[in-house]
């Protein structure tokens, strides 16, 4: 434990502690930690030094060390701040059950702190315990008047409970309290979109560009286009911003720009480039990492519905707007073998990181497999936990042989049916006009709206929803019955 480089070691605990706080206030966290180490050396039972040291370590992303520092503070003297900070770090480490326990211990020591109840509510949301989360956020609001963050988090929890009107009311309250609260505006947009209220939804969705972790706000020397200028005869760059599925879903809007007389440069992610080349011959596919042609305007892909003023009744929804490569399809046809049974392409997990809400463990999904159909895994990314089970199941795994999404499309072309969770495969199949059954959680992503079995985005999709939160087993039983009816399993 030494003093920061170039500074003499403080000779007493109080000075070392004050120096640590000063460095922390100046965001000089390495120096702050050195000062706290010196303070602890001089006074080993200093709870505040351990706690503040944990705060500095957390700001540096050294979460395991931060947790250890908070634990040391608690071992010396349990207190509200240390338990609260410990809970925050545990959430960042995705150890949410332990985080909840830490918040509960803080509340047991002193239940008057609104922030702890709000954090507790967020942890409960992550655990899917939504009704309890609502209670915690309401308690936070009762304890602290004008608590915009708690109103925002309550709105999110109510959205997940399908209580959309109540959710929007809470989000409106958060925005009224804090006018530039972009996180709440974005969450209100998601609630509107989930309810199919597209005009207000797209408007609020623009707040994604100004969130703490912004999306879709790349900087270019040319102006942003949001429908406020004529594009006929102009060149516009449309650039990807989110996941592969988003790019496939919203690429349909790119054609509308070409219809309006614009020269369109479209920059999708590289693995989608060859598939997107089939979108429209008027659209030039470009790469953001390479030298771009000259252009007059740019627009993030998911801003096009707002810019083009298309509501739910005006969604461009051709039954097929992408195509597959015939040569690739011929190669895949030979590789798949003779079709003596219906071919079913499947994906059970969102990629690249399985999503706890959208994904299904393969051991559960395998209940769908049967010998009256031939099942093919079109999932490229398979978890280490699923791979051994996949190897012994009655399914042919094609994912390791898929290069880019042109390969996925060519393989998908030979499927009689695609069954997928809310993943990119659902979008590939829908854009190709293939029949697709999409397995959705009780409250899905906003794009699938609520309580309907069809979607205005893809005419060939059937939406199969959980009837109870988290019940994939019951959902798969219904799917198997549907398969039996269609293919006589």
Structural domain includes residue 445: yes
Supply the pLDDT for residue 54. 96
Question: Which letter, b or e, does each residue of 6-39 get, where b requires 16 or more Cβ atoms within 10 Å of its Cβ?
Answer: eeebbeebeebbebbbebbeeebbebbbbbbbbb
The length of the chain is 489
Q: How many domains does the chain have?
A: 3
Same domain, 303 and 334: no
Structural domain includes residue 36: yes
Determine contact, residues 46/40, Cβ cutoff 8 Å.
yes
Last residue of a domain, one of 314, 336, 368: 314
Last residue of a domain, one of 288, 314, 340: 314
Give the tokens for residue 399: 């994912």
Structural domain includes residue 321: no
Same domain, 56 and 178: yes
Same domain, 414 and 472: yes
Same domain, 295 and 366: no
* Whole-number Cα distances in Å, 465 to 131, 159, 478: 20, 17, 10
Last residue of a domain, one of 314, 342, 370: 314
* Whole-number Cα distances in Å, 105 to 48, 65, 99, 407: 18, 21, 10, 53
Structural domain includes residue 7: no
3-state per-residue secondary structure call for 7-66:
CCCCCCHHHHHHHHHHHHHCCCHHHHHHHHHHHHHHCCCCHHHHHHHHHHHHHCCCHHHH
Structural domain includes residue 226: no
Structural domain includes residue 256: yes
Rounded Cα gap, residues 189 and 186, in angstroms? 5
Same domain, 81 and 54: yes
Total H helices, total E strands in the chain: 22, 10
Rounded Cα gap, residues 316 and 26, in angstroms? 52
Inter-residue long-range contacts of 135-140, CB under 8 Å, 24+ positions, other chains counted: 139/114, 140/114, 140/115
Same domain, 26 and 175: yes
CATH number of the domain encompassing residue 353: 3.40.50.2000
| Antiparallel, parallel or unpaired: β 263-267 and 343-347 | unpaired
Model pTM score = 0.90
Supply the pLDDT for residue 68. 97
Q: What is the mean pLDDT of each run of 10 residues along the chain (489 residues)?
A: 50 88 95 94 93 96 97 96 97 97 98 98 96 98 98 98 97 96 97 94 96 88 95 97 96 95 98 97 96 97 93 79 93 90 95 75 93 92 91 92 95 96 97 97 94 95 95 95 83
Supply the pLDDT for residue 157. 98
Same domain, 206 and 239: no
Cis amide linkage into residue 282, ω under 30° from 0: no
Print the domain residue range for 350.
326-487
Same domain, 47 and 73: yes
Structural domain includes residue 5: no
Same domain, 198 and 242: no
Give the tokens for residue 249: 């879903």
Same domain, 170 and 106: yes
Structural domain includes residue 457: yes
Same domain, 471 and 343: yes
Supply the pLDDT for residue 487. 84
Same domain, 43 and 152: yes
């Amino acid at each position: 434990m030494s003093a920061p480089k170039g500074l003499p070691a403080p000779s007493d605990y109080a000075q070392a502690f004050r120096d640590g706080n000063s460095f922390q206030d100046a965001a000089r966290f390495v120096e702050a930690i050195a000062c706290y180490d010196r303070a602890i050396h001089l006074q080993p039972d200093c709870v505040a030094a351990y706690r503040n040291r944990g705060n500095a370590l957390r700001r540096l992303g050294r979460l395991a060390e931060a947790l250890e520092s908070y634990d040391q503070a608690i071992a010396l003297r349990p207190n509200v701040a240390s338990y609260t900070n410990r809970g925050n770090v545990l959430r960042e480490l995705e150890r949410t059950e332990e985080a909840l326990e830490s918040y509960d211990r803080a509340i047991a020591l002193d239940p008057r702190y609104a922030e702890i109840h709000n954090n507790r509510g967020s942890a409960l949301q992550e655990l899917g315990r939504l009704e309890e989360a609502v209670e915690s956020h309401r308690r936070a609001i009762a304890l602290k008047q004008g608590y915009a963050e708690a109103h925002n988090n309550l709105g999110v929890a109510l959205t997940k409970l399908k209580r959309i009107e109540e959710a929007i009311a809470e989000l409106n309250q958060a925005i009224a309290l804090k006018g530039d609260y972009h996180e709440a505006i974005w969450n209100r947009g998601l609630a509107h979109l989930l309810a199919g209220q597209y005009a207000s939804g797209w408007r609020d969705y623009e707040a994604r560009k100004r969130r703490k972790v912004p999306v879709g706000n790349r900087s270019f020397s040319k102006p942003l286009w949001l429908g406020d200028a004529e594009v006929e005869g102009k060149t516009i760059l449309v650039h990807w911003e989110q996941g592969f599925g988003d790019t496939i879903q919203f690429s349909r809007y790119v054609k509308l720009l070409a219809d309006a007389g614009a020269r369109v440069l479209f920059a999708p992610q590289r693995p989608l480039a060859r598939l997107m080349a089939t979108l429209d011959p008027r659209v030039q596919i470009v790469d953001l990492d390479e030298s771009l042609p000259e252009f007059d305007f740019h627009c993030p892909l998911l801003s096009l519905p707002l810019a083009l003023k298309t509501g739910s009744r005006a969604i461009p929804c051709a039954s097929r707007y992408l195509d597959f490569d015939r040569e690739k399809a011929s190669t895949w046809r030979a590789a798949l073998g003779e079709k003596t049974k219906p071919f079913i392409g499947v994906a059970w997990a969102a990629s690249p990181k399985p999503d706890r809400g959208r994904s299904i463990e393969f051991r559960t999904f395998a209940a769908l497999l049967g010998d009256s159909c031939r099942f093919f895994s079109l999932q490229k990314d398979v978890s280490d936990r699923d791979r051994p089970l996949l190897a012994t199941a009655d399914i042919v795994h094609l994912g390791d042989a898929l290069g880019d999404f042109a390969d996925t499309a060519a393989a998908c072309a030979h499927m009689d049916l695609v069954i997928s969770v809310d993943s990119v495969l659902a979008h590939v199949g829908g854009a190709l006009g293939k029949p697709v059954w999409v397995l959705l959680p009780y409250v899905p992503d906003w794009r699938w709206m609520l309580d309907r079995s069809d979607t205005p985005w893809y005419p060939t999709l059937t939406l199969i929803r959980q009837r109870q939160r988290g019940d994939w087993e019951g959902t798969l039983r219904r799917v198997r019955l549907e398969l039996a009816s269609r293919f006589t399993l």
